[in-house]
Amino acid sequence: MSYNAHELMICVAARLLENGATVGVGTGAPCAAAMLAQRTHAPGLFVVFEAGGCGPELPAMPISVGDSRTYHLATMATSMIDIFEMCQRGMIDYAFLGGAQIDAFGNLNSTCIGDFDQPKVRFPGSGGGNDFASLCWRTMVMTEHDPRRFVETLDFTTSPGFLDGRDAREHAGLPQDTGPYRVITNLCEMGYSLDSGRMEILSLHPGVSIDDVKAKTGFHIEGSSELTETEPPTDDELKVLRTEVDPAGVVIGR
């Protein structure tokens, strides 16, 4: 069964979410990945939304983190304060984030392009991004692979990755052993070096070369010593994604 880049990204992300884990998601592709995981290999995945929905059984794709569907048959309907307290207590295993820019250490900019006081473009800002990135055990990003997004230096640091090195988070007072985990794009899946904390390529999507990735990355990047090829979506994954998760094709673009 053929597939597009959006479907591949969602399937790759879904496979990273194990049964019994907790994940903080937003709307769009991250939510689709969580819903796909629940409907395939991880029925016990516990989904949390920033606005307060905890453990809902999502009947359909929500249009915002405060959509009433994010509370459907939920374990608890609470508030943003309680969600961030859960993060601080170490209760959220994974968080999905996005942004306009990401650097080699997984730091994210969702605030502005250009000077902060006189920006070329002003974005919504942190929202819950800084809290999730600072406190959740593993942060994942899903984004298109473009040199304007993958940059050497952020115009503004909204949410912390490894700052300027693997040990920098702990030195800055952030919880130990938390931080960036995976970046999933239309070209590859990336992780972070255990030594330096810099981004590295873990697997190349079918038909993509390491030179393709380097050409679309605005900083130096290399492949992992165990570089592999991404497994394409299975027919079962695509069927669930298209018929149960996003039948209207809003996220997957079909």
Query: Coil, strand, or helix at residue 170?
Result: helix
Cβ atoms within 10 Å, residue 48: 31
Q: Is the Cβ–Cβ distance between 97 and 25 less than 8 Å?
A: no
Which of the residues 7, 50, 189, 237 is marked catalytic? 50
Q: Phi first, then psi: what are they for 169, rounded to 5°?
A: -60, -50
CA-to-CA dists, residue 77 to 56, 148, 230, angstroms: 9, 38, 37
Tokens representing residue 176 in the block: 């130990």
Q: Phi first, then psi: what are they for 104, rounded to 5°?
A: -65, -20
CA-to-CA dists, residue 211 to 34, 208, 223, angstroms: 31, 8, 10
Whole-angstrom distance, CA of residue 119 vs CA of residue 111: 9
Give kind and range of the element (H or E) at residue 30.
helix 29-38
Whole-angstrom distance, CA of residue 209 vs CA of residue 227: 11
Whole-angstrom distance, CA of residue 71 vs CA of residue 87: 19
Sequence-ordered list of residues with C-beta below 8 angstroms from that of 78, at least 6 positions apart, any chain:
52, 54
Is 18 a catalytic site residue?
no
Query: Coil, strand, or helix at residue 31?
Result: helix
Catalytic residue annotation: 50
